[in-house]
């Protein structure tokens, strides 16, 4: 029987992978994808907790949809940024984007 804990475990693993990707990946597009992973881990949590703790209520599901919407906007802005940086640097490697330093 699959219970709440399984969902939470799945979300945690997904979130961990996302965090790892954000910190370890050098490719900017891969980092955007990792962020999507983290957001989706959160979405799983929202829906699972909604289902198991307060089944009569749909606030969690609504919030998940809300997050998806924001994530779509975020990705489009992020990709636009990456494209414009790429036009400057001819690279999507984050190591080359080090203008914000001392």
Which span (7-15, 17-25, 54-62, 66-74) binds another protein, by CB under 8 A? 17-25
Contact by Cβ (8 Å): 48, 11: yes
Under rule CB under 8 A, how many of the chain's residues touch another protein? Answer: 12
Which span (7-15, 64-72, 76-84, 91-99) binds another protein, by CB under 8 A? 91-99
Which CA distances in Å does 68 have to 3, 24, 51?
24, 24, 18
- Cross-strand partners of 27: 93
Binding-site ranges for another protein (CB under 8 A): 19, 22-23, 31, 94-95, 97-102
């Amino acid at each position: 029987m699959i219970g709440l804990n399984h969902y939470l475990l799945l979300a945690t693993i997904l979130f961990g992978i996302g965090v790892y990707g954000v910190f370890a990946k050098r490719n900017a597009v891969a980092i955007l994808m990792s962020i999507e992973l983290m957001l989706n881990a959160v979405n799983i949590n929202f829906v699972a907790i909604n289902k198991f703790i307060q089944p009569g209520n749909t606030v969690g599901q609504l919030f998940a949809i809300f997050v998806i919407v924001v994530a779509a906007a975020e990705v489009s802005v992020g990709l636009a940024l990456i494209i414009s940086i790429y036009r400057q640097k001819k690279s999507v490697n984050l190591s080359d984007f080090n203008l914000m330093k001392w």
